[in-house]
Structure 1
Amino acid sequence: MAAVLFDFSGTLFRIESTESWLRAVLAAAGLALPEAELAEKAKALEVAGALAGGAEPVELPEHLVEAWAVRDESAALHRAAYTALSRRVPLPDAALHDALYERHMTPAAWAPYPDTAHVLRTLRERGTRVGVVSNIGWDLRPVFREHGLDACVDVYTLSYEHGVQKPDPRLFSTACAELGADPRDVVMVGDSRSADGGAAALGCRVHFVDHLPVAQRPDALLPVLGMVA
């Protein structure tokens, strides 16, 4: 294989827990909630699907269905969709909803899977081209820089920068073109069969991993090294 494409969230990195997310924003605002109430609010935000990269909404309000379907096609749509979900949960200060959105875009909110650095650095050492293809509404490059992994990525193909989201083959085609690779010589690695599986339409080989907490998925990326050996 000439190149490897990776999804971001749930594949190379994992977002913090909803409780950690809420706790960090409350602390930054100088606010505190009793532990029981904090846990209750965090659970409500999780059920609402308000944390991008976390659980999807248990029940999507009718008025948000259309916005949700195209949320990754622009930064404005992404912010609008997720802050609308967050606002379904009453918080001590209305400004916290925007603060929550801002928090999820920070490198501190993301942790790499245990094998991410090893796999990316090994591919770099072998001279294998690497791209990140993500349905997202913000620039994830600082996350890679903060964790010292930006030098391992040749191309970032982000949905909001192209106005198209996975599984549309055009996003994968763009990534392959930027890498100078024939899609038939590319492996796409992701956690979503519905989204990342779209690469198969171009002839890419697709390898799936499970979207699990970091501590529960230590080595799911390692088989990729065997695919491009």
Structure 2
Amino acid sequence: MVIKGVLFDFSGTLFCIEPVRSWLSAVLAERDMTVSDADFERYVADLTAAGALPGGPVPQRVPDRLAAAWATRDESAERHREVYTGLARQVALPDPGLYEALYDRHMSPTAWRPYPDAAEVLGALRAGGIRVGVVSNVGWDLRPIFRAHGLDALVDAYVLSYEHGIQKPDPHLFHTACTLIGQDPKDVVMVGDDRHADGGAAAVGCDVRFVEHLPVEERPGGLRALGLIP
């Protein structure tokens, strides 16, 4: 196919969230709090098991009271916050203010790192006249992340689930993205890390290609290997 547009997922595709350990450490430092080494390790393990970090490890078990909201968590900002602070509250942290602080931290540009080849691939697409969109299941505005890391100028359109009240794999999100970048879906590639959610782009006629959701250091060239650029 002749590629005229590329849609990218956000988390696990273009960017990777910091580890739970760094996430908790940063928030404790911001609040000038210290805990024992043993308590810190326990909090890290428990928050990881709870799946409290958006974009991080998935919950080992979603509590019954959060199950319905979990299934549609990316359809509204309020629900997204409710779910992830609720997951964190399963862990007995030393300050009740930490739950909201942890949620707020994950929206900070410093909590995210672009994959090593993200700028290269996005820049090459822009240089080649290929339109780029970001289609993400997310409960908050990720545009500041792109701006802070110097990638916003390389993106033509953002389609964020919470702004539309639907989430991937709903084909309407992909159709909207193709419309915004001005391309027929049959000329567009969707790139993501979730075969269920991102695979929904196939329903509108997009080609779909996948990367592995790995730590930044373990995936230096995953985007480059997809054949999007010469």
TM-score class, shorter = over 0.9
Structure 1 match to 2:58: 56
* Residue identity opposite 1:23 in structure 2: S
Number of the residue aligned with 1:153: 155
Deviation, 1:228, is: 5.4
Matched, 1:180 2:178: no
Structure 1 stretches of 4+ with a deviation exceeding 2 A read 226-229
Whole-angstrom distance in 1 between the partners of 2:83 and 2:122: 32
How many residue pairs align between the two structures?
A: 228
- CA apart distance, 1:223: 2.8
Percent of aligned positions that are identical: 61
Contact 1:107–1:143 (8 Å) recurs in 2: yes
Q: Which residue is equivalent to 2:217?
A: 215
Q: Distance in 2 between matches of 1:66 and 1:144?
A: 31
> Whole-Å Cα distance in 2 between the matches of residues 42 and 113 of structure 1?
24
Q: Distance in 1 between matches of 2:173 and 2:96?
A: 36
Q: Aligned AA for 1:181?
A: Q
**SS at 2:159's partner residue?**
strand
Question: Residue 205 of structure 2 aligns with which residue?
Answer: 203
1:1-229 correspondence to structure 2 within 5 Å: 1-224=3-226, 226-227=227-228, 229=230
SS of the residue 2:191 aligns to: strand
Normalised by the size of structure 1, how large is the TM-score?
0.98
What is the SS of the residue equivalent to 1:5?
Answer: strand
Matched residue SS, 2:7: strand
Letter in 2 for 1:76: E
| TM-score, normalisation: structure 2 | 0.97
Letter in 2 for 1:92: P
8 A Cα contact 2:190 2:209, kept in partner: yes
What RMSD over aligned residues (CA atoms) do the two structures have, in Å? Answer: 0.9
In 2, Cα distance between equivalents of 1:96 and 1:170: 37
Q: 1:184 is paired with a residue of what secondary structure?
A: helix
Conserved? CA contact 1:2–1:228, under 8 Å: no
The gaps in structure 1 that reach 5 residues or longer are none
- 2:228 and 2:162 mapped to 1: Cα distance? 30
User: Contact 1:4 / 1:189 at 8 angstroms: preserved in 2?
Assistant: yes
1:40: Cα distance to partner? 1.3
Distance 2:149 2:221 in 1: 18
**What stretches of structure 2 of length at least 5 have no aligned partner?**
none
